Chains A and B, each alone.
Chain A
Amino acid sequence: MLKNIDSLPSSLPVPLGAARPTRRTVLLLALLLVALALPLIVTSPSHQNLAILMLMAAQIGVSWNIVGGYAGQVSLGHAAFYGIGAYTSTILFSLFGINPWFAMLAGGVIAALVSLPVGWSCFRLKGHYFAMATIAVAEIIQIVFTNWDFAGAAVGLTIPMNESGWANMIFDDKAPYYYIALGLLLLTMLANFAIERSYLGYYFRAIKDEPDAARSLGVSLSKYKQIAFAVSSFFTAMGGSLYAQKELYIDPGSVLGTGLSIKMALVSILGGIGTLFGPLVGAGLLTAIEEGTRTMFGGSGRGTDLIIYAALIIVIAVYYPNGILGYIKSKIARRKAGKAQAAISAQEVVK
């Protein structure tokens, strides 16, 4: 979609908006600089924490978007992979003493491996039925971990905070977590960007738009849905590992809950499904609502954020089915197309 809009002016006789790509590059660089400098400006730990939560929500949103947005396979069970990532790295680190950086990677790989049988069975179903099947799978995995003594059962697991520092990915202050979350988000976006620009991105969108037509062009639906699912699971799990390292405590409710699955989907849908930057917008907004209501209403207001979520879903579904970013983009595209048309008719008048 991004490309679509960019390539519009290039085909026109007048170089309308030729400065556009560079302007966008400048904007992105500025955004990145602000993101890098933020912990130096915002020094309050609670505000830094809010920024970390936003980055982490964005990262899982971008991960979910690979399979849910680009390939159009709406998974509502992604918490399973988040939890697998969190549990894998925590077990490897706290029980076997394996370096958490490596354990994080291992969590991603294991989640991707688990996504294979899950995808093999669930991708036989289409649309809503696929979404329902993923909910069921996530519930099963949550029940397994709740009853699995080795993994701490319902009590959960604690990472002993014996030595902080980069080697153990444990820190006393928030800033390092911020940079790790930012790095992971950038890595996930980079992978997403690379996929979007390669043949895989085209195949995913073809599968989403018209699966039968995609098959006629030699695209194996099961294979490419599975690729999207595995990549998405991999990055979702890395997000889970980061959560575990930041909180130093996980239990089935916090890393495997159904609400988490829905949040991942919502971050993308709200911001702009199937767009690279959509989840960032969605994550910023959702986290603000979540934390805002928490500070405003405290313990007595538990669930206020859910009411606002629900209202948002209705508004988005009715008025902005392409999400906030999707809406802005289509507005820009329409304005450009209008200008282009005007330029062409003006030329014709001259002739």
Chain B
Amino acid sequence: MSLLRVENVYKKFGGLTANQDISFTVQAGEIVGLIGPNGAGKTTMFNCIAGYSPPTTGDIWLEDVKISGMTPEQCARVGIARTFQVARTFTSMSALENVMVGTFLKQRGVAAARRTAQELLDFVNLGHFADKPAGSMTISEQRRLAVARALAVQPKLLLMDEVMAGLNPTEVRETVEVVLKIRDQGISCLIVEHVLEGIMPIANQIVVLDYGKKIADGSPHDVSNDPHVIAAYLGDE
């Protein structure tokens, strides 16, 4: 059985249809890229899955739990973690404390939270920044901090919204390594991404949206040769 199933999801904002009849699945332990031009409805899809704005119609399932209609905090509890386009760092806290907030979902002890949070910071290569005020970290560091914080809720599925946007090639490489390590832990990743050279080599599957509709779904190789996708990105001849 698939880990995540999105079934015929529509999301309308008044007269605007941001997602139209979207269906796709994410298998356990896989990296799935959700790509498409600006305004294609990728972030809207994310918000539907993470509970921030429920689909107008259609269902979303995580294993055998129907999650469409759940609140974000309920989604976190059943195993969905997410990062945001802007890092949304807790700026009054240190890096370690940011991650600790996430760990409290599974256990309430502060000492244990400190240990787990330190491990997670090490995992995303930010271990030496534990005591640094989180607000003073670079964008790249804050993105990885957000990943560590999301991992702290021990998710089955991690949603990452443009983790590589605006990063230089070195930082993209570091982030890719982290994503692969997460996958190796058995956590599935659904990644909204504009940086195609970052996501294409590592994804098991790519879902392409354009104008709110799914136009392609398959392996990175198939998708990048799909005439619809080429038309959406480069325009028709």
A residues touching B (Cβ–Cβ < 8 Å)? 1, 3-4, 7-8, 10-11, 197-199, 202-203, 205-206, 208-210, 212-221, 274
**Contact A215:B92 (CB < 8 A) given known A7-B131, A198-B110:** no
Contact with A along B97-121 (1 / 0, CB 8 A): 1001110110011100100000000
**Contact A218:B77 (CB < 8 A) given known A202-B100, A203-B101:** yes
B131 touches A219 (CB 8 A): no
5 A-B pairs within 8 Å (CB atoms) are namely A202-B113, A209-B91, A215-B71, A217-B105, A221-B73
Is B208's CB within 8 Å of the partner chain A?
Answer: no
B residues touching A (Cβ–Cβ < 8 Å)? 50, 52, 71-73, 76-77, 81-82, 84, 88-94, 97, 100-102, 104-105, 108-110, 113, 130-131, 133, 146, 149-150, 152-153
Question: Looking at B73, B89, B113, B146, which has the most chain A CB atoms within 10 Å of its CB?
Answer: B73
Alpha-carbon separation in the docked complex, A30 to B88 (Å): 41
Min CB distance, B145 to chain A, in Å?
11
Alpha-carbon separation in the docked complex, A214 to B150 (Å): 10
Closest chain B residue to A217, Cβ basis: B102
Query: Could you tell me the dominant secondary structure of chain A's interface residues?
Result: helix
Alpha-carbon separation in the docked complex, A274 to B90 (Å): 14
Chain A residues contacting B71 (CB-CB under 8 Å) are: 215, 220
Alpha-carbon separation in the docked complex, A206 to B133 (Å): 14
Alpha-carbon separation in the docked complex, A328 to B166 (Å): 36
Chain A residues contacting B97 (CB-CB under 8 Å) are: 3-4, 202, 205
B108 touches A198 (CB 8 A): yes
Min CB distance, B42 to chain A, in Å?
17
B84 touches A206 (CB 8 A): no
B76 touches A218 (CB 8 A): yes
B101 touches A4 (CB 8 A): no
Closest 7 CB pairs of A and B: A218-B76, A213-B88, A218-B105, A215-B72, A209-B90, A199-B104, A210-B88
A205 touches B149 (CB 8 A): no
Alpha-carbon separation in the docked complex, A321 to B93 (Å): 17
Alpha-carbon separation in the docked complex, A90 to B31 (Å): 65
Chain B residues contacting A209 (CB-CB under 8 Å) are: 89-93
Min CB distance, B181 to chain A, in Å?
20
**Contact A216:B90 (CB < 8 A) given known A4-B133, A198-B108:** no
